[in-house]
Chains A and B, each alone.
Chain A
Amino acid sequence: MSRASLLPRLQELFGDKLLSAHDQCGDDTIVVGRDHMIEVLRQLRERPEFAFDLLADETAADYLGVSPRFELVCHLYSLSHNRRLRVKVPVPEDDPVVPSLVPLWKSANWLEREVWDMFGIRFSGHPDLRRILLYEQFVGHPLRKDYPVNQRQPLVPERDPVNQDWKV
Chain B
Amino acid sequence: MATPAAAPAALDPTEEIMEIQMGPSHPASHGTIKFNLKLDGEVVVDCDVEVGYLHRAFEKMTEQGTWTQAIPYTDRLNYASPFINNVAFVLAVEKLLGIEVPPRCQYLRVIVSELSRLTDHETCLGMAATELGAMTVGFLLNEARELIYDLAEAISGARLTVTYCRIGGLSRDFPPDISERVTAAFKHTRALISDCDKLLTRNRIFVDRMRGIGVISQAEAISYGLTGPMLRSTGTNYDVRKAQPYSSYDHFDFEVPLGSTGDNYDRFLCRFAEMEQSMRIVEQALKNLPAGPVRVEDPRIVLPEKSKVYGSIEGLMNHFKLIMEGIKVPPGEVYHAVEGANGELGFYVISDGSGRPYRVRVRPPCFLAMGALGAMVKGGMLADIIPTFGMVNMIGGECDR
CB distance from B67 to the nearest CB of A (A): 16
Residue A133 at the chain B interface, CB threshold 8 Å: yes
Contacts of A149 in B (CB 8 A): 60-61, 63-64
Q: Known contacts A59-B348, A107-B223, A107-B371: does B334 contact A27 (CB below 8 Å)?
A: yes
Cα-based distance from A89 to B111 in the complex (angstroms): 39
Contact of B224 among A24, A26, A82, A106 (CB under 8 A): A106
Residue A72 at the chain B interface, CB threshold 8 Å: no
Cα-based distance from A151 to B40 in the complex (angstroms): 43
Cα-based distance from A109 to B374 in the complex (angstroms): 12
CB distance from A84 to the nearest CB of B (A): 7
Cα-based distance from A134 to B53 in the complex (angstroms): 8
Tell me if B335 and A110 are in contact (CB < 8 A): no
Tell me if A61 and B350 are in contact (CB < 8 A): yes
Tell me if A82 and B52 are in contact (CB < 8 A): no
Tell me if A53 and B222 are in contact (CB < 8 A): yes
Residue B344 at the chain A interface, CB threshold 8 Å: yes
Main secondary structure of the interface of A (DSSP, over half): mixed
Which residue, of B243, B344, B368, has the highest number of chain A Cβ atoms within 10 A? B368
Contacts of A26 in B (CB 8 A): 95
Q: Known contacts A110-B367, A143-B59: does B244 contact A82 (CB below 8 Å)?
A: yes
Cα-based distance from A29 to B344 in the complex (angstroms): 20
Residue B303 at the chain A interface, CB threshold 8 Å: no
From 348 to 372 in chain B, residues with beta carbon under 8 angstroms from any chain A beta carbon are 348, 350, 358-359, 361, 363, 367-368, 370-372
Q: Known contacts A133-B55, A134-B52: does B372 contact A106 (CB below 8 Å)?
A: yes
Tell me if B371 and A110 are in contact (CB < 8 A): yes
Cα-based distance from A52 to B372 in the complex (angstroms): 19
**Chain B residue total in the interface (Cβ 8 A):** 42
From 218 to 270 in chain B, residues with beta carbon under 8 angstroms from any chain A beta carbon are 220, 222-225, 227, 236, 238, 243-244
Tell me if B224 and A57 are in contact (CB < 8 A): no
Chain A residue at minimum C-beta to C-beta distance from B344: A56
Contacts of B370 in A (CB 8 A): 110
Tell me if B225 and A107 are in contact (CB < 8 A): yes
Contacts of B55 in A (CB 8 A): 133-134
Chain B residue at minimum C-beta to C-beta distance from A104: B223
Cα-based distance from A132 to B374 in the complex (angstroms): 14
Which residue, of A25, A82, A84, A149, has the highest number of chain B Cβ atoms within 10 A? A25
Residue B98 at the chain A interface, CB threshold 8 Å: yes
Residue B332 at the chain A interface, CB threshold 8 Å: yes
Residue A142 at the chain B interface, CB threshold 8 Å: yes
CB distance from A113 to the nearest CB of B (A): 9
Tell me if A75 and B346 are in contact (CB < 8 A): yes
Which residue, of A24, A59, A133, has the highest number of chain B Cβ atoms within 10 A? A133
Residue A79 at the chain B interface, CB threshold 8 Å: yes
Which residue, of B335, B370, B401, has the highest number of chain A Cβ atoms within 10 A? B335
Residue A105 at the chain B interface, CB threshold 8 Å: yes
Tell me if A1 and B222 are in contact (CB < 8 A): no
Contacts of B222 in A (CB 8 A): 53-54, 79
Residue B5 at the chain A interface, CB threshold 8 Å: no
Which residues of B pack against A, CB within 8 Å? Answer: 51-52, 55, 57, 59-61, 63-64, 95-96, 98, 220, 222-225, 227, 236, 238, 243-244, 332-335, 337, 344, 346, 348, 350, 358-359, 361, 363, 367-368, 370-372, 400-401
Which residues of A pack against B, CB within 8 Å? Answer: 1, 24-27, 29, 53-57, 59, 61-62, 73, 75, 77, 79, 82, 84, 86, 105-107, 109-111, 114, 118, 131-135, 142-143, 147, 149
